[in-house]
Amino acid sequence: MTDARNSILVTGARGQLGRELVAALAAHGDVVAVDRAALDLADADGIVRVVRDVAPAWIVNAGAYTAVDRAETERDRAFAVNAQAPGVLAGEAKRIGAILIHYSTDYVFDGTARVPYTEDAHPNPLNVYGASKLEGERAIAASGARALTLRTSWVFGLAGSNFLVTIRRLAAERDELRVVADQTGVPNWTRNLARATAAVVACGRAYAAERAGLYNLSAQGQATWWEFACAIVGDVPRPRVIPITTADYPTPARRPAYGVLATDRLREVFGLALPEWRDALHRCVTSAAEPMPADRVG
Ligand SMILES: NC(=O)c1ccc[n+]([C@@H]2O[C@H](COP(=O)([O-])OP(=O)(O)OC[C@H]3O[C@@H](n4cnc5c(N)ncnc54)[C@H](OP(=O)(O)O)[C@@H]3O)[C@@H](O)[C@H]2O)c1
């Protein structure tokens, strides 16, 4: 049994955000990191068992079913991990008085807005992944647990599978990349998301508990996927990055045309603001990938 006063249970600890969280949170408590092998979030009994065994002060849920297109045909799996599991985690957090930190997505919106979405904007997901994440948010809110749900978007880093990694690989292989230019959002570096989470934890449990609720956690600025790809490739002549439309690149899951999140609430309540996404991208590509702290992952 780990000391309940300062222990931080991190789920999905081998994901791109999870591994950064494990590193960033280490300075703030005794991190117990569990990957899918140690805790399958589709197993509600397993969640109960692990939370009761660890008895953490904080639960940081970085685990999620993130295969947006595959979710269209794996609805039950997506909902088990993204909707039911957060509800079980929240129920257990409430039972032991832990604070739950959970992540959600701009894909809860339909993208018809043209100004940044506040936390109070009406969600209307276009795809199964977004619907499952929205149900997770609602399960947490309904539980009565003291929880912070942090919505973010377009997550990238040097590790894992994400747009930055894909574009860098394709840029080395091809002379020409065709990238969607009619979807607008905000790229977010895993390290900045993890450090912001650590800053929330550093505020202490009492402070966070009083300010439980939904927050947008996102960088400044906005981009289309094409602009993001151009920034990744840089000014080198090869490859050419060609803007295309969503209609030119059909996918199983529909995606919102606009997903910029307004970040005023997080700044006002926690004093937190993430840097501009271009600055984050620059820092990311000039940084070393955070090594996986394997000894701390169960
Ligand atoms: N990626 C994005 O662009 C994006 C955008 C907005 C919001 N978010 C949210 O940000 C959070 C972190 O996402 P991420 O980008 O770090 O995703 P990720 O790299 O796909 O990591 C998710 C982790 O969850 C694990 N997982 C999946 N199913 C599981 C299960 N049944 N039991 C236990 N673990 C399971 C995955 O393990 P495996 O590797 O074994 O599958 C993976 O390690 C999620 O809540 C996500 O919805 C992400």
**Tens of pLDDT along the chain (298 residues)?**
334 458 999 999 999 999 999 999 999 999 999 999 999 999 999 999 999 999 999 999 999 999 999 999 999 999 999 999 999 999 999 999 999 999 999 999 999 999 999 999 999 999 999 999 999 999 999 999 999 999 999 999 999 999 999 999 999 889 899 999 999 999 999 999 999 999 999 999 999 999 999 999 999 999 999 999 999 998 676 788 999 999 998 999 999 999 999 999 999 999 999 999 999 999 999 987 555 444 344 4
* CA dist 97 → 58, 83, 145, 209 (Å): 9, 21, 8, 10
- CA nearest ligand 1 atom 2, residue: 155
| Beta bridge partner(s), residue 244 | 180
Q: State the pairing for strand pair 223-224/184-185.
A: antiparallel
Residue 160 in contact with ligand 1 by CB distance below 6 A: yes
Query: How many other CB atoms sit within 10 Å of the CB of residue 3?
Result: 11
Testing ligand 1's pocket by substitution, the residue of 155, 197, 277, 284 carrying the most ligand atoms inside 8 A of its CB is 155
- What pTM was estimated for this model as a whole? 0.94
Residue 41 in contact with ligand 1 by CB distance below 6 A: yes
Task: Tell me how long the chain is.
Answer: 298
Residue 36 in contact with ligand 1 by CB distance below 6 A: yes
Residue 63 in contact with ligand 1 by CB distance below 6 A: yes
- CA nearest ligand 1 atom 42, residue: 15
In terms of Cβ atoms closer than 10 Å to its own Cβ (0-12, 13-18, 19+), residue 36 is middle
As given in the structure block, the two tokens for residue 1 are 């049994």
DSSP 237: S
Instruction: Locate the ligand 1 atom nearest the alpha carbon of residue 133 and give its number.
Output: 47
What is the phi/psi pair of residue 203, to 5°?
A: -65, -20
Contact in structure between 82 and 65 (CB atoms under 8 Å): yes
DSSP 82: I
